[in-house]
């Protein structure tokens, strides 16, 4: 290809603390986590509690490297291989996870959230407010077995 693909350096802004110590395929929608943000960035969290939900971008530090081109979705060998970009597999060329979670509480530099699909110690890259209409799509299509009820 004729476009330049730069290398990019970033620094975690915080880390996840929870009871999940090893990678798992289990549903994490009820898991409670704390996101401990670098205390030098505490002021940048102001006003976040105006939102009920936030988007967390995190570094999947335990992902398999190098990433495969195709994976069995959800690690289930009975499902046909799919291109990794068509899945949410943690093993991807840049293993960045994206979760939309409920913000239960903010205390200083600590965010308490529900539903974060990340294990204890996961480095956090960014926090964004979840904005309905910008982050959600009303009329969309996806394989029915992937849709979360």
CA dist 4 and 105 (Å) reads: 42
Task: State in angstroms the smallest separation of the CB of 22 from a second copy.
Answer: 18
First to last CA, the chain: 40
> Site for a second copy (CB under 8 A): which residue of 109, 113, 116, 119?
109
Residue 88 C-beta: closest distance to a second copy, Å? 6
Contact by Cβ (8 Å): 78, 21: no
Pairwise CA distance, residues 18 & 141, whole Å: 33
Alpha carbon separation from 56 to 29, 84, 127 (Å, rounded) = 14, 21, 5
What mask of x and - would describe binding to a second copy in positions 52 to 91, judged by CB under 8 A?
xx-x-x-x-x-----x-xx-----------xxxxxxx---
Told to check if 134 binds a second copy by CB under 8 A, we report: yes
Binding a second copy by CB under 8 A: which of 22, 65, 78, 137? 137
Nearer to a second copy, 76 or 139 (CB): 139
Pair 31, 92: CB distance under 8 Å? no
Options 22, 26, 76, 94; binder of a second copy; rule CB under 8 A: 94
């Amino acid at each position: 290809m004729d476009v330049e693909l730069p290398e990019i350096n970033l620094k975690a802004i915080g880390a996840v603390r929870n009871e999940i110590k090893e990678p798992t395929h289990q549903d994490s929608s009820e898991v409670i986590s704390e996101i401990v943000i670098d205390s030098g960035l505490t002021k940048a969290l102001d006003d976040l509690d105006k939102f009920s939900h936030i988007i967390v971008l995190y570094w999947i530090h335990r992902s398999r490297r190098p990433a495969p081109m195709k994976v069995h979705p959800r690690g289930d060998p009975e499902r046909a291989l799919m291109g990794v970009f068509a899945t949410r597999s943690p093993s991807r060329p840049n293993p960045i996870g994206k979760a939309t979670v409920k913000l239960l509480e903010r205390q200083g530099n600590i965010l308490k959230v529900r539903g974060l699909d990340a294990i204890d110690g996961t480095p956090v890259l960014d926090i964004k407010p979840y904005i309905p209409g910008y982050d959600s799509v009303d009329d969309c299509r996806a394989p029915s077995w992937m849709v979360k009820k």
